[in-house]
Chain A
């Protein structure tokens, strides 16, 4: 069965520091992968997605993610974190039924 694992429940980084959020997936075929961000009490906003082609994907707000098939990973990165990036981040994969399967989420805190 398809699954998504985000190993880090909570990460704290200093403002201006680089960020990497980990995501590992389990899927038999080429996956459709997504990263979403959720601010408290809000819905989800799509940061970026990977369907095919270039394995390094650029998203909004300066985020990027790299698809690595050999590692079954789709880690999210940002070179310099801003205080407004503090939020919950979800990695997701679309399964064969067209449903989004979400990881557990990673809460990002940003220190001044």
Chain B
């Protein structure tokens, strides 16, 4: 299947700093990327949907100024957690669909464990 690489796999940052998470499709063009947040022992919560070259669409209750999403190319989307606080600590996962991967199937990155101290 298609491969999605997410980096970093874990990160620890201080309160007030910003953290950038990258999501790359390695062998297909990702026309759409999704960003999820997952709390311990819970399901995935969709945060936003990004289409290459356009602004991301955020789900209700997700602060767009806090979670900046950029999808500048067909192989890369980034999520920047701005002015991070301890309550932003979570597991963040991206997924991608697109040409060459089958538009109805989403491929997931490995996830990023963010800890804000």
* Residues of chain A having any CB pair with chain B under 8 Å: 32, 34, 36, 41-46, 49, 51, 90, 94, 98-100, 102-105, 107
Contacts and interface: CB of A to CB of B under 8 A. Distances in A.
B44 A43 contact: no
B85 interface: no
Contacts of B43: 90, 102-105
B6 A43 contact: yes
A105 B39 CA distance: 12
Given A44-B93, A102-B44, A104-B43, A94 B108 contact: no
B105 interface: yes
B67 interface: no
Contact of A100 (B4, B42, B46): B46
SS of B interface (majority): strand
Interface string B30-45: 0010100000011110
Contacts of B4: 43
Contacts, number: 47
A11 to B, nearest CB: 14
Task: Determine which residue in A36, A43, A51, A103 has the highest number of CB atoms from chain B within 10 A of its CB, and name it.
Answer: A43
Task: Determine which residue in A51, A90, A99, A103 has the highest number of CB atoms from chain B within 10 A of its CB, and name it.
Answer: A99
Interface string B74-98: 0000000000000000010101010
Contacts of B104: 32, 51, 94, 98
A41 B42 contact: no
Nearest 5 CB-CB pairs, A to B? A43-B108, A44-B108, A43-B110, A43-B111, A102-B43
Interface string B14-56: 0000000000000000001010000001111010010000000
A41 B111 contact: yes
Contacts of B97: 98
B44 A49 contact: no
A87 B4 CA distance: 21
